[in-house]
């Protein structure tokens, strides 16, 4: 390809370079193509993608905005621009990126789903619900493709569960019904299954659904679900391997990277690899709260509390997330401020209860119990804090993968773990002597 000078040849060369993950070469070839024939939407879109893959998000946004100026009604360009704005945490700009499409397709269901996704990323569940409900009653609803209508119904059910208007069972039934109606064609709907099948006892149902989806989709497209299946089977090695493969195969997906960081740290005990993966992923999604939180968490556990504090400080809405507050507590505690760390963990639990997330409150309390075992006993004695000899898992939590991850992490740290014999055991809390 070195001697190619035509626009088509240079464009194809750039596309092949993207396929080979040679992003600097792709950018160079697209620049040459632009010098030959001027800027085109396709060249600018692929240039933006290449910049994003290298973590140069402002350049990616600039190139993609130019592409949208030339082709304002092209969906792929608009959705790429949305993803780049979400990666830097600019939710208002992500919403504005959809305005050219909305002007032409004001009631479009696919656009409504994208707007709802932006609202969810901004922690506005009620706003997301309003967007989807409005689309559900719009003029274009009846003529929307079956798959898009099903996806909207499924996402509405999930949001109604999140906001307390549906039970988990009711939301799950709606999503499974809609997935079946589309003959398991929709991967976006399938991506809701891990949230709706959260327990070890859901394993058989997940296996059945995974089999039906595998009949329609390539196994790499289902990595997100295969990871969850491995977790519910308590196959730590497979879960870690699949999570890393998923993160590597979808470099722009902060959810995949965030889960890989967590599983590498908790199940494999390989915190250095988790940190390496996380630092790389953050270059492509520096504004993603989940990714920043999980990286800060594993940094703190590795003793890198100063870097952990810097990373967590980049979360734009830290006070609405119990997980982020708990991670701040971990950083404080392992950084020497034991009393401050305990206070943050307790605040995380209180906020989780206020938000109706009792399981998250339980996990915060159990995480504090494990974290305190890393504190110098002399410091605990001076603060008159008593910690039980063993980390006890409430027997009522045996069906919870989150507890399994925590117990495995504790074992990697040399903490003795036992199962509480009392089914209704109280949550652990630091006790004054």
- Quote the CA–CA distance of 332 and 340 in Å, as a whole number: 6
Q: Which two tokens stand for residue 167?
A: 């039970």
Question: Where do you find CATH 1.25.40.10 in the chain?
Answer: 1-104
Of the candidates 132, 394, 370, 341, the residue with the CA atom closest to the CA atom of residue 265 = 370
SS3 385: strand
Of the candidates 126, 156, 127, 128, the residue with the CA atom closest to the CA atom of residue 141 = 156
CB-CB contact of 295 with 261 (8 Å): yes
Specify the pLDDT at position 433.
42
Of the candidates 288, 286, 297, 222, the residue with the CA atom closest to the CA atom of residue 263 = 297
Alpha helices in 253-337 (DSSP H): 254-266, 271-284, 289-301, 305-312, 322-334
Alpha helices in 2-56 (DSSP H): 7-19, 23-37, 41-53
Q: What does DSSP say about strands 391-393 and 417-419: parallel, antiparallel, or unpaired?
A: parallel
Burial class (CB in 10 A: 0-12, 13-18, 19+), 238: middle
Of the candidates 339, 330, 287, the residue with the CA atom closest to the CA atom of residue 309 = 330
- Quote the CA–CA distance of 140 and 107 in Å, as a whole number: 6
Specify the pLDDT at position 141.
85
Q: What is the pLDDT along the chain (433 residues), one digit of tens a residue?
A: 556 789 999 999 999 999 999 999 999 999 999 999 999 999 999 999 999 999 999 999 999 999 999 999 999 999 999 999 999 999 999 999 999 999 999 889 999 999 999 999 998 999 999 999 999 998 888 888 999 999 999 999 999 998 889 999 999 999 999 999 999 999 999 999 999 999 999 999 999 999 999 999 999 999 999 999 999 999 999 999 999 999 999 999 999 999 999 999 999 999 999 999 999 999 999 999 999 999 999 999 999 999 999 999 999 887 889 999 999 999 999 999 999 999 999 999 999 999 888 999 999 999 999 999 988 888 988 988 888 777 888 777 789 999 999 999 999 988 888 776 544 444 445 544 4
What is the secondary structure of 75-89 as a DSSP string?
A: HHHHHHHHHHHHHTT
SS3 8: helix
Q: What torsion do the CA atoms of 50, 58, 116, 174 make, to the nearest 10 degrees?
A: 30
SS3 393: strand
1-104 under CATH 3.40.50.1950, yes or no: no
- Quote the CA–CA distance of 290 and 263 in Å, as a whole number: 14
Contacts of 275 (CB under 8 A, 6+ apart): 261, 295, 298, 299, 302, 304
Torsions phi, psi of 55, nearest 5?
85, 10
Specify the pLDDT at position 420.
67
Considering the domain delimited by 109-196, tell me its CATH architecture: Alpha Horseshoe (1.25)
The residue count for the chain = 433
* CB atoms closer than 10 angstroms to residue 125: 16
Specify the pLDDT at position 423.
42
Specify the pLDDT at position 421.
55
Q: Which two tokens stand for residue 249?
A: 């195969």
Of the candidates 2, 5, 1, 45, the residue with the CA atom closest to the CA atom of residue 27 = 45
CB-CB contact of 416 with 391 (8 Å): yes
Specify the pLDDT at position 59.
98
CB-CB contact of 348 with 364 (8 Å): yes
């Amino acid at each position: 390809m070195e001697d190619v000078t035509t626009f088509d040849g240079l464009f194809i060369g750039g596309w092949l370079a993207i396929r080979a993950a040679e992003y600097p070469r792709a950018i160079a070839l697209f620049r040459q193509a632009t010098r030959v024939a001027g800027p085109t939407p396709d060249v600018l879109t692929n240039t933006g993608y290449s910049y994003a893959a290298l973590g140069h998000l402002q350049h990616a946004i600039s190139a993609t905005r130019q592409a949208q100026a030339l082709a304002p009604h092209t969906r792929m360009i608009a959705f790429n621009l949305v993803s780049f704005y979400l990666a830097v945490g600019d939710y208002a700009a992500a919403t504005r990126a959809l305005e050219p499409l909305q002007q032409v397709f004001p009631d479009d269901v696919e656009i409504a789903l994208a707007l709802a996704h932006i609202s969810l990323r901004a922690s506005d569940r009620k706003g997301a619900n309003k967007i989807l409900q409005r689309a559900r009653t719009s003029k274009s609803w009846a003529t929307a493709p079956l798959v898009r209508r099903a996806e909207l119904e499924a996402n509405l059910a999930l949001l109604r569960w999140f906001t307390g208007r549906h039970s988990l069972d009711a939301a799950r039934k709606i999503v499974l019904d809609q997935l079946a109606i589309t003959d398991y064609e929709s991967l976006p709907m399938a991506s809701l299954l891990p949230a709706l099948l959260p327990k070890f006892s859901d394993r058989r149902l997940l296996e059945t659904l995974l089999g039906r989806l595998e009949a329609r989709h390539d196994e790499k497209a289902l990595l997100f679900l295969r990871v969850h299946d491995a977790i519910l089977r308590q196959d730590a090695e497979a879960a870690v391997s699949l999570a890393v493969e998923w993160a590597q195969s979808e470099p722009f997906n902060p959810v995949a990277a965030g889960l890989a960081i967590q599983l590498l740290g908790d199940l494999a005990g390989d915190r250095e690899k988790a940190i390496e993966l996380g630092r790389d992923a953050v270059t492509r999604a520096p504004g993603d709260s989940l990714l920043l939180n999980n990286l800060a968490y594993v940094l703190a556990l590795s003793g890198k509390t100063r870097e952990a504090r810097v990373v967590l400080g980049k979360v734009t809405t830290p006070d609405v997330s119990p997980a982020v507050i708990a991670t701040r507590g971990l950083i404080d505690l392992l950084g020497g401020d034991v009393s401050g760390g305990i206070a943050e963990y307790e605040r995380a639990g209180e906020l989780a209860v206020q938000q109706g997330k009792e399981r998250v409150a339980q996990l915060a309390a159990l995480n504090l119990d494990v974290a305190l075992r890393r504190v110098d006993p002399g410091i605990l004695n001076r603060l008159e804090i008593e910690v039980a000899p063993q980390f006890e898992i409430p027997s009522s939590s045996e069906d919870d993968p989150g507890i399994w991850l925590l117990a495995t992490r504790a074992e990697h740290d040399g903490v003795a773990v036992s199962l509480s014999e009392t089914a209704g055991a109280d949550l652990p809390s630091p006790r004054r002597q």
